[in-house]
Amino acid sequence: MTAELPTDVDYRRRLADGGVIDGWIPAARLTRVGGNFRVTGPTRAQLSLHRDGRGRIVVSGSYAAPLEAQCQRCLEWMALTIEGRIEVIVVESLAMMPRSGEDEENDDDYVEAPDGRLPLTALVEDELLLACPMIPVHNTSACQRAVEATPAESSETHYKPFADLAALVKAARETDD
């Protein structure tokens, strides 16, 4: 059995207790997931806190979020599990991070834990949002639009492909900025 994770945790205390952060985040807490996506169940997070070779506290592990995404070709909703890994260095404040020297050469990611509180929900939600595909679409074999578009089935009254295409191109350009 795993437990519901708190919104944030005292990361030093967790580290002293063994560093295990294993549980789930209720869908209602992931309020920034929206648009073409919706959360359909609890997100599992299996994380741990440890110190790296330089004495920095790292939170690492994995998460899996059950979502539905709206196919941007046929507009049907489809189940989509987003899974990913997390590995970030915990810092009290990003403003205190060095901006020169050796740290410019690596691509370490940081998470801010003000007052010793590691924002678990926000951390997982950030990673989840980054992992969502820019333009979700079915596999061709599963897509209603792709089936309709076969020559024997096509009907111009069902849709306006070029209107959709223009919207997709516009969306892609906007997200490129």
Cβ of residue 148: shortest distance to Zn ion, in angstroms? 10
Among residues 91 and 132, whose Cβ is nearest to Zn ion? 132
Q: Which two tokens stand for residue 136?
A: 């979700």
Half-sphere exposure of 154 (CA within 13 A, CB side): 7
Among residues 91 and 149, whose Cβ is nearest to Zn ion? 149
Which residues touch 175 (CB under 8 Å, ≥6 apart)?
Answer: 134
Considering only the C-alpha atoms of the chain, give the largest distance between any 2 of them, rounded to a whole number of Å: 66
Query: Restricting to residues 21-80, which ones interact with Zn ion according to CB under 5 A?
Result: 71, 73-74
Among residues 15 and 137, whose Cβ is nearest to Zn ion? 137
Among residues 58 and 71, whose Cβ is nearest to Zn ion? 71
Cβ of residue 163: shortest distance to Zn ion, in angstroms? 16
Cβ of residue 124: shortest distance to Zn ion, in angstroms? 28
Whether residue 131 contacts residue 109, with contact meaning beta carbons closer than 8 Å, is answered with: no
Query: Restricting to residues 101-160, which ones interact with Zn ion according to CB under 5 A?
Result: 138, 143
* Backbone dihedral angles phi then psi of residue 39, each to the nearest 5 degrees: -85, 130
Phi-psi group of 3: left, alpha or beta (phi > 0 → left; psi -120 to 50 → alpha; rest → beta): beta
Q: How many residues bind Zn ion (CB under 5 A)?
A: 5
Q: Which positions touch Zn ion (CB under 5 A)? A: 71, 73-74, 138, 143
